[in-house]
A and B are shown apart, each in its own frame.
Chain A
Amino acid sequence: GENVEQHPSTLSVQEGDSAVIKCTYSDSASNYFPWYKQELGKGPQLIIDIRSNVGEKKDQRIAVTLNKTAKHFSLHITETQPEDSAVYFCAATYGYALNFGKGTSLLVTP
């Protein structure tokens, strides 16, 4: 499938700080961009998504922005808490399926 690049691969922040994870995609036909959180020993779970006709979406402490012209989208987590520690994956549609980034391991230290 088409590439989805995700940065950084690891991110360490102090509790209360903000965390930002960035992704770029290459398929101009992509129109749906979800973010998944994977906790240890579990499958990934959707935390927020954005569709191509929207530039920004917010849900409490998390927000996602999309720049279709530049083909990049970002996840923003504010007021981070230790329970936000997990691996986060961005994804973009490719036909029927999703192409995922390689993941960002986020560590929130008290």
Chain B
Amino acid sequence: DVKVTQSSRYLVKRTGEKVFLECVQDMDHENMFWYRQDPGLGLRLIYFSYDVKMKEKGDIPEGYSVSREKKERFSLILESASTNQTSMYLCASSLIGAGTNTGELFFGEGSRLTVL
């Protein structure tokens, strides 16, 4: 089975702190994604990566950055956390790496971040 592992299920941080959310997938998938989930807003794409060291902005990249140094690992970085970044963060990966068809996304269980 494909496994997408998010290192932290729950985090509490203070405003202004730098926050790292780590995600690892074990199926050699080319695509990796970070989504943010908020009640009533569904899943919104923050960033995605279709190859090592490649990244593309999604719909809501402001306040976030990402890093993909290895194929299996995709990190989401909040340079200076703010209270409006309190949310559930979901990492996902998919096999297909080219074209317009992303194929099935496999999600991790989520990281719930609270910024005080």
Contact = CB atoms under 8 A, between A and B. Distances in A.
Interface of A: 1, 6, 9, 29, 31-32, 34, 36, 41-46, 49, 51, 89, 93, 95-103
Contacts of A99: 45
A21 to B, nearest CB: 13
B61 to A, nearest CB: 12
A43 B100 contact: no
Nearest to A102: B42
Interface of B: 4, 31, 33, 35, 40-45, 48, 50, 56, 58-59, 90, 92, 100-105, 107-110
Given A100-B42, A102-B41, A32 B101 contact: yes
B100 A98 contact: no
B42 A103 contact: yes
B56 A96 contact: yes
B109 A98 contact: no
A42 B43 CA distance: 14
A31 B92 CA distance: 20
